Amino acid sequence: MSQVALKNLTKSYDGKNNVLSGINLDIQDGEFVVLVGPSGCGKSTLLRMLSGLESISGGDLEIDHARVNELPPAERGIAMVFQSYALYPHMNVYKNMAFGLKIAGAKKDEIDRRIRHAAGILKIDHLLERLPRELSGGQRQRVAIGRAIVREPKLFLFDEPLSNLDAALRVQTRLEIAKLHKDLAATIVYVTHDQVEAMTLGDKIVVMHDGHIQQAGSPLELYQQPANLFVATFIGSPKMNLIDGIVTEASATGVAVKVAGDQIVRTEVDGSGIAVGDKVSVGIRSEHLWEGDAGSERFHGKVNLVEHLGEANYLYLTLENGQDVVVRGDGERAVHIGDTIALSAPAAAFHVFNRDGLALRRLKPGNMVAARHRVTA
């Protein structure tokens, strides 16, 4: 049973500039928390502060309600899986897994039992006698995870464990890590820069940028109610389309925005915080811009580029008003470069961000596909 609380953590390497600041986060027992953000935003640093490998410059870190700021890694009950696997090159797989336990003074048969158990879970029974250099990348990854499992830690820490694997193996290992999380009922903090990995694995996703937490929440919350422009464009692929405009009507039940070409876009967001005349950005995800006129807000665009994915096409269009957008279209419909097509979106699908980039609350998030069927039916 383990609960982790990060209270106003800060980190500075040189004593002057903060690499991380104001980090507040609660991690529940058994929760899978993913730290995600662009490279250099401080994810690894935060993870290493949790592990005890990096000192904490300010704030409190509590594991099971006890402050552990000064505890060395071994006494925090954590196990870490590194991106480079960090297997001891001169020890075979068995010894790699046994080393930590032996140091901790575990009995020989207990060590053996745990290793056999972990090896069984990870299907590496047949590799126990091999040296790390005799293993493939995926196998090394499993051994690294196995070495963490045998220690039966309160908290698993993963730092970009999949980024050294090829694409197919990455998807497979991702599934296995998800399964492992369920089977072990383990508490996991997982670092990645890949938003797909984050969305698929996390119970709670923590989006970081420039040493700050931008938003923490479930995958769906981040997708439906991104708190600001950064999260809105970071989560989701292709990126959310953004259109600049000026507010012409604002109320608690909706906001109307005048965008380029004097077109008025009606959105269903809570506009109580803004006033007519404010500059805003209107956001619409590519999958919510539909081909045809099923939605209430309508556009026309000329196709510049088509990416065929099979189940979908990504259409890169320029709207009549000069705005560039990406649309996720029906993959089996023939679209040609130079075609002009009609687009539409329901008012409920739009996001609106104020001048500071903060999102206004959407009134009816979710169920866009159902909405489309309702309209077309």
Binding site for ligand ADP (CB under 6 A): 13, 19, 37, 39-45
Among 22, 72, 261, 331, binds other proteins (CB under 8 A): 72
Minimal distance, residue 26 CB to ligand ADP, in Å: 21
Minimal distance, residue 45 CB to ligand ADP, in Å: 3
The reply on whether position 51 binds other proteins by CB under 8 A is yes
Distance CA(194)–CA(208), nearest Å, equals 12
Among 22, 40, 55, 88, binds other proteins (CB under 8 A): 88
Burial 207-218 (b: 16+ CB within 10 A, else e): bbbebbbbbbbe
Among 21, 44, 92, 224, binds Mg ion (CB under 5 A): 44
The reply on whether position 45 binds Mg ion by CB under 5 A is no
Output 42 or 245, the one with its CB closest to ligand ADP: 42
- Closest by alpha carbon to 290, among 374, 369, 222, 367? 369
**Which residue number places its CB atom closest to Mg ion?**
44
- φ/ψ of 180, rounded to 5, equals -60, -40
**Strand ranges across the sheet with 66-67:** 18-27, 4-12, 58-63, 66-67
- Closest by alpha carbon to 350, among 340, 361, 339? 361
Handedness of CA 27, 53, 98, 159 (dihedral sign): positive
- Closest by alpha carbon to 323, among 347, 349, 297, 346? 297
Output 40 or 261, the one with its CB closest to ligand ADP: 40
The reply on whether position 96 binds Mg ion by CB under 5 A is no
> What DSSP designation does 189 have?
E
The reply on whether position 89 binds other proteins by CB under 8 A is yes
Distance CA(133)–CA(196), nearest Å, equals 30
- Closest by alpha carbon to 72, among 87, 92, 52, 57? 52
> What DSSP designation does 358 have?
B
Interface segment toward Mg ion; rule CB under 5 A; list 41-49, 55-63, 175-183, 211-219:
41-49
Which residues inside 142-161 make contact with other proteins, applying CB under 8 A?
147, 151
Output 23 or 97, the one with its CB closest to ligand ADP: 23
Output 86 or 242, the one with its CB closest to other proteins: 86
Q: Which of other proteins, Mg ion, ligand ADP, none does residue 82 bind (CB under 5 to 8 Å by kind)?
A: other proteins
Output 4 or 46, the one with its CB closest to Mg ion: 46
Q: Which of ligand ADP, Mg ion, other proteins, none does residue 19 bind (CB under 5 to 8 Å by kind)?
A: ligand ADP
Residue type, 116: R
Output 39 or 183, the one with its CB closest to ligand ADP: 39
Q: Using DSSP bridges, classify how beta strands 155-159 and 78-81 pair: parallel, antiparallel or unpaired.
A: parallel
Minimal distance, residue 128 CB to ligand ADP, in Å: 32
Output 47 or 359, the one with its CB closest to ligand ADP: 47
- Closest by alpha carbon to 327, among 354, 351, 299? 299
Output 99 or 314, the one with its CB closest to other proteins: 99
Which residues inside 92-131 make contact with other proteins, applying CB under 8 A?
99-100, 103-104
Minimal distance, residue 13 CB to ligand ADP, in Å: 4
Interface segment toward other proteins; rule CB under 8 A; list 37-45, 49-57, 251-259, 282-290:
49-57
Distances (CA, A) of 307 to 314, 316, 334, 335, 358: 5, 8, 12, 10, 31
- DSSP readout, 202-255? -SEEEEEETTEEEEEE-HHHHHHS-SBHHHHHHSSSSPPEEEEEEEEEEETTEE
Q: What is the contact surface with other proteins in residues (CB under 8 A)?
A: 51-53, 72-75, 78-80, 82-90, 99-100, 103-104, 147, 151
